[in-house]
Structure 1
Amino acid sequence: MNAGVNMLAYEQNAAELRALLLKADLKVTLTRLTILHILRSAQRELTVTEILYSPQQQLKKLSCAGIYQALRQLERAGLVAKFKLGDEQALYSFKNTQANIRICCRQCGRLEQIADPLFELQIQELILIHGASSYHLTLEKPKCFCCAENAAEQPDHPRR
């Protein structure tokens, strides 16, 4: 019974994704459907490598080049959001499912998403006032929790 419920949910999700692709004037392909499904069900933004090796993707045998090409098309169509900071790998998410506020560690470059609905609402109001269409806000801090913890474990002076 549980497998039947999961299959029904998957079919409903696939039908919604097909409708989104058609509305965006994109051909419905297995690659696009698979990528949208992976991003929609992800708990966070994903890199291309994470999409490529996603357990959901293993049956589909997609190529890295095919994923990049499909992501560019999905991004242009407004179905996928891309975030890139410096030389780090780009992160992708299903449009409007991930927070656009992040904290970046200056020491290691680690990104952490922040979900603050009240702050997001205030930013949305600013976007409307200034006529922008989207935003990415990145706050910097000198050290993240991991860097501070690693620094505490290492002695201040080298042993001789």
Structure 2
Amino acid sequence: MVSKEFNSVIMGILHSEKLRATIPRVLVLSALIEKDKELTAIDIHKIISTDYNEDLYISTIYNSLRAFEETGIIQKFKVGDQQAFYSIKKKSGSIRAICSECKRTYFINDDGLEAYIKNSAKNINSQLNSFSALLQITCEHCKK
């Protein structure tokens, strides 16, 4: 399964958000943290089956993801009719670029742009809790 140190990190996250540390939650959170990229529920199911040799119902995985999303541990990302992608929430906002051709997703870290978006919310007397921005691009591989 997972190392003791890694397991204590997982337990700390769950405890800080007042979530029970069930086996499915520990496994789903472990998969998201270890892979450190956006994953679908199907991807998570495959990782848990192959890497951890555990068999969970897909509905159990979705229930864990919903609990994590509600507490702000993860972010959900969906484009059109595609399956939703989930990733560990690293900042208050997320900016992604998705290639219209190959559907590859790029994570954009731009502190200046994030600060501008936060200030824009203040200009309309609002408090920004989180945000998500999507840029549709043609990536360098598909341009060729």
Which TM-score applies when normalising by structure 1?
Answer: 0.72
- Within the candidate set 132, 139, 142, 1:136 is matched to 132
Bigger share in strand: 2
Q: Which residue of 1 aligns with 2:31?
A: 38
Flag the structure with larger Rg: 1
Task: State the alpha-carbon separation in 2 of the partners of residues 64 and 58 from structure 1.
Answer: 15
Q: Tell me which residue corresponds to 2:59.
A: 65
Which of residues 7, 14, 18 in structure 2 aligns to 1:14? 7
Report the TM-score when normalising by structure 2.
0.79
Asked if 2 retains the 8 angstrom alpha-carbon contact of 1:34 and 1:57, the reply is: no
Letter in 2 for 1:127: K
Displacement of 1:79 in angstroms is: 1.2
Read off the aligned partner of 1:72 and give its amino acid letter.
R
Tell me the number of residue pairs that the alignment of Structure 1 and Structure 2 aligns: 136
CA contact (8 A) 2:40 2:83 kept: yes
Structure 1 vs Structure 2: percent identity of aligned residues? Answer: 25
Q: Secondary structure at the match of 1:100?
A: strand
8 Å CA contact retained: 1:78, 1:95:
yes
Deviation of 1:47 (Å): 0.7
Contact 1:102 1:111 in 2 (8 A): no
1:99-143 Cα offsets, whole Å, 9 max, x none, are 82222233x361321343xx23441453256221222221122x3
CA 1:57–1:128 in 2, change beyond 3 Å: closer, same or farther? farther
- Alpha-carbon contact 1:110-1:144 (below 8 Å) kept: no
Structure 1: any 5+ residue segments left out of the alignment?
A: 1-8, 150-160
Quick one: which of 47, 50, 59 aligns to 1:54? 47
SS at match of 2:47: coil
Q: Is the counterpart of residue 120 in structure 1 residue 111 in structure 2?
A: yes
CA shift, 1:93, in A, is 0.8
